Structure formats: structure tokens, C-alpha cells
Amino acid sequence: MIEIIESKIDSAALLAAVNDPDAGANLLFVGTTRRLTGQQETSQLNYDCYREMAAKKLAEIRAQAMERWPLKAVHIVHRVGDVPVGAASLAVAVSSPHRAEAFQAAQWIIDTLKEIVPIWKQEVFSDGKKVWVHPGASPSSSQ
């Protein structure tokens, strides 16, 4: 299952949903908004998304992971819009017969997602400054 949502992620439900009688490993990764980046304090992240393409790329990543590893289930949920400190922006749940492939697949899914899925985060700092995070490009702030 692939989802892009604007509300809170229910990660416990996601983990429960990948359970399978033939799975001996159930793995959940939850990415949350971190308060501190270096010395700067974040108050929230705003996520922008090219929704149609992001859904397509997430589905491709899921299909490739299921082809590459003997997984029982893969669920990926990305939250977009405003995500406050401590709240989850990403949850990835996988299940497999043994743990090694679950760890490998989850790592690959998250790494690949961060490389190709058209979703962008904007840091909103506690002083009100906002900066888009575009790795490799020079930062530009507004407000």
C-alpha cells in the first residue's frame, strides 16, 4: 500500500497491517520532524509534493523492493503539508520471512525515496525563517 496524506500517520496500524503468517520479521521505520539541526531550532516542516508523480514513484519503489527481496508486504505512507516537531512525516513497514531482507529492503526503500520521489521539505525555524531543503542547491530563505 502507498499513501500520501495530510493527516497524522498511524504507524501502529501500519505495522499491524504488514503482519503475515509467513513472516518472521516485521519492521517499521518512522521518520519524524527533528527539533535541532546544528544550532538551529525547527518549529515545523512544511512538505510540498508533486502528488501524481510522487504516488507513481512510490509505487515503483514498492514494486521493485518486492521483486528484489522475498517480502510479504510493504506499506509506505508519506505525510505532506505541515508536520510539527515530533510528528511523523514518513512511515515504512515491511515484513519478510527472515530479518535480514526486511532490514535491507527498508533501508533501500528509504534511501531511494529520498533520491527520486518528488517531495520537498521546507524548514520553518523558531525565529520564523523558512528555508526549502534542496540538497546540492544553494539555500534561499523567505520571510
Partner 1 sequence: MKVNVVLFAQARDVLGADQLQLEMGDRPTVGDLKRALVEQHPELQEILGHCSIAVDQEYSIDETPLRNGCEVGLIPPVSGG
Q: What are phi and psi of 73, to 5 degrees?
A: -155, 150
113 binds partner 1 (CB under 8 A): yes
Q: What are phi and psi of 137, to 5 degrees?
A: -100, 155
- Could you say which residues in the range 49-88 bind partner 1, by CB under 8 A? 49-50, 52-54, 56, 78
Between 17 and 30, whose beta carbon lies closer to partner 1? 30
Q: What is the dihedral of CA 39, 43, 47, 48, to 10 degrees?
A: -90
Piece in contact with partner 1 (CB under 8 A), picked from 35-43, 63-71, 98-106, 131-139? 131-139
* Neighbouring C-beta atoms of residue 60, cutoff 10 Å: 14
Place of cell 502528488: 51
Say how far apart CA 27 and CA 46 lie, in whole Å.
27
Q: Which of 77, 94, 117, 124 binds partner 1 (CB under 8 A)?
A: 117
Give the nearest distance from C-beta 90 to partner 1 in angstroms: 5
110 binds partner 1 (CB under 8 A): yes
Contacting residues toward partner 1, per CB under 8 A = 31, 47-50, 52-54, 56, 78, 89-90, 110, 113-122, 132-138, 140, 142
